[in-house]
Amino acid sequence: MVVRVRQGQLLLAGLLLFVALSSADSIDLTSGSVYSAILETRGLSPNWAGLIIVDNGTNGQVDTTPFVSMTLNTPTIIEAPFPGTNLKNDLYYYAAMVPSYTINTNNIQNMTPKDLLVNELFNSTEYPIFYPYYENLTDNPNGTFCCVEANITIAGKNFTAYKAILNQSIPYYLLKYNVSNTTTPLFLVDIADATCYNGTSCIGVFMLPVNTNAYNFYILPQTTTYNITTWIDGVETRTFSQTARPYNLTVLVKDLFSGVPQTGKDVAVYEQGGQNLFIPLELSGIVNTAWSIGQTDGSGMEEWLVAPTAYPEVVNYTIGVAVVESDQLVSPITLSITTYDSLPSSSKTVTPSELRDDAVAAVNAMNQIVNFLFEWASNREEGKRFRYDYETTTGTWTTYIYVSPLGYVASPATLKSGAPNQVEVRLLTSGTPQTGSVRARERNGFLILNPRTGSTPLSAKSRAHYQTIPTGTQFIITPTSYSFVTSNITFDLYNQGGTLLDTLTININNSLNIQGGGASLSDDDLKATVNQMNGIINSLYLALNT
């Protein structure tokens, strides 16, 4: 890591403004996690150091422990590269304090005017730079921060901080951190693209008292962040031994910064790029997501029956667990699979054993669906074909079915379970195609990932499988509404700016039979995926029935 040190003046005026330097020589330093800058400087304020944070091009990670320590023992402006490329959205903070604590939000406290008096928060032991003349210094912490209040949120909790404004209108916050009745200042700045004191780009600015003790730097979120622990078949681990096998997956969800178990929290096991029936053909550059959502109990725990679907490779494949908030995966953790290039044929015990009958019924139904999908795609090389047009000027949909040899004919459209349904969604304005996207989603159908549908002995789960595709792009979906499962399929249509225009509920024919009048469909990738799904389901069948 290269740290750029600038010689010059650090001025405090009004509400703590960084003023552009009249002279700005620089030196590049290369070091590891601990930085020390010792330069002779010229300045009107010998008590504060400046830290200009630039994006180092890597992602930052929210954690309870510091990611770097730096010693700022002279009144120098230092330019340092920090991780945070993925966090520049005003939803995260860089935080700094001298002690290297494991952050617990229960220990963060609001500011009061008393905190900035002599030998209180900024005491002579931890901040000797201000002593013995603390009260006589115009740039002491009391004169610097007192007492503009700001309400800020850290990890889902609200705090009253003191706020200062740095040059270029960058807000800067002060709270206190208490451990065993000993308090220390906690400095915070938003992680966001900004213009710094000298007109250069940065993602954060600190002004910190000169100190011979190192400052420790953290990344803290505004929203609640979670710590997820997983057990697979009763063993604490994040690794499945073999793909296409039924496992008991148990999770515990806690608040990362307080350690408190989270009750009544939506949590999902999910796959991205997996092989589940609703989306039998993944388009290039578009990842499909399947998830099964449960809710944590009074102890913060939830359980699933899970079968990973990676086979015979794991390119662009992820299996994991995450909290679900506003339809988004939050605090995800990634699970892994030891062996995924072969399919076992032996039996495996299901835990709890009462799940077996439910799992067998689900696997048998999915086997019927994939057999018909194989017949359509491989033996007949046919599929159903539909087009859905949305006209923005009227807010109406027009649906078309493909009838050979006529082509598209305006007609009510009904997708067919067990068939490869070729679909195109168009966004039109006065008949002219527009750029947009459509999210095709099936809820509460069958998922190979979660091969059961019941509500006992494990809790009922909400299952979904979806992908988002550019409008005007043809994609293939296979409804899994069949037997004892009735699924729901919707198309969420968005304009180019990401605004939801409309949601269309799709009609489904849930009978498994071969109908004439289909459109020609010969796709080797589709055939290969169907064969792989067939093998995965067969492996699950053998695990449950032998």
Read off the pLDDT band of 200 (50, 70, 90). Answer: confident
Do residues 85 and 60 make contact, with C-beta atoms less than 8 angstroms apart?
A: yes
Do residues 206 and 77 make contact, with C-beta atoms less than 8 angstroms apart?
A: no
Read out DSSP for 421-452? EEEEEEEEETTEE--EEEEEEEESS--SSS--
Do residues 18 and 9 make contact, with C-beta atoms less than 8 angstroms apart?
A: no
Q: Is the pLDDT of residue 228 over 60?
A: yes
Read off the pLDDT band of 338 (50, 70, 90). Answer: very high
Q: Is the pLDDT of residue 32 over 70?
A: no
Q: Is the pLDDT of residue 7 over 60?
A: no
Task: Tell how far CA 148 is from the center of its chain.
Answer: 34
pLDDT of residue 3: 54
Q: How far apart (Å, rounded) are the C-alpha atoms in residues 303 and 351? A: 10
Read out DSSP for 28-59? EEE-SSEEE-------S-TTEEEEEEEE-SS-
Residues 204-217, mean pLDDT to the nearest whole number: 97
pLDDT of residue 198: 78
Place of tokens 């989306």: 279
Rg (CA), the chain: 29
Which residue did the predictor score with more confidence, 315 or 83? 83
> For 420-431, how does the pLDDT look when each residue is reduced to its tens digit (9 = 90+)?
999 999 999 999
Which of 31-45, 134-148, 470-484 has the least mean pLDDT?
31-45
pLDDT of residue 546: 74
pLDDT of residue 27: 31
Across the chain, mean pLDDT equals: 91
Give the chain's largest Cα–Cα span. Answer: 94
> For 472-500, how does the pLDDT look when each residue is reduced to its tens digit (9 = 90+)?
999 999 999 999 999 999 999 999 999 99
pLDDT of residue 250: 98
pLDDT of residue 518: 79
Strand partners, 401: 386, 409
Strands 266-272 and 318-325, sheet pairing: antiparallel
The pLDDT > 70 percentage for the chain reads 92
> For 246-279, how does the pLDDT look when each residue is reduced to its tens digit (9 = 90+)?
999 999 999 999 999 999 999 999 999 999 999 9
Q: How far apart (Å, rounded) are the C-alpha atoms in residues 477 and 290? A: 13
Least Cα distance to 417 among 467, 372, 484 occurs for: 372
